[in-house]
Amino acid sequence: MEYSDVPEIELMDVNVIQNVFLKDSIIQLTISFRDGDGDIGLTDADTTAPFNAGSPYAHNLPITFLVEGTNGEFKELINATTGRLYGNNHSRVPVITPTGKHKSITGEMVVKVTANPAAQNPTRVYLEIQLIDRALNTSNKIRTEVINLTH
């Protein structure tokens, strides 16, 4: 099957995992993906531009935390220590490019993020997720439903 060289993702499942104290600890996301040229993933050696630290491409799976404020609006999480945006809970997907002539790829990945970013104890959040391939093509943005958390 032919797919676009721009990755496409879809949210398959969201599961909140509790710790031994029955407090929400991990948000586990199951995401399906497809990419026509299969250039998904980075290695530990991918540290020079454009994949260098501080670059928007240093992590290829940006996950943004949006938390409910007192007025009911959702905004990016503010780090109480610095007063600045918490930043994204980025992940780095390893190289999964198939060997051989045909590089088109499809599959699922499971990603785990903290349920308590920056020790802020958010009670209602949603996450926005994208996937960036090595050619810097950015997928569609997907979003979870609102997740109610217990801390």
- Is pLDDT at 90 greater than 80 in this prediction? no
Q: What is the per-residue pLDDT across 91-143, written as a single tens digit (0 to 9) for each?
A: 889 999 888 888 899 999 999 999 988 788 899 999 999 999 999 999 999 99
Residue 106, CA distances (Å) to 31, 49, 82, 89, 112 in order: 11, 27, 40, 24, 20
In this structure, of 43-52, 70-79, 128-137, the range with the lowest mean pLDDT score is 70-79
Mean pLDDT of 13-41: 96
pLDDT at residue 135 in the model: 96
Domain ranges of the chain: 8-148
Task: Give CATH for domain 8-148.
Answer: 2.60.40
Report whether 39 contacts 134 (CB < 8 A): yes
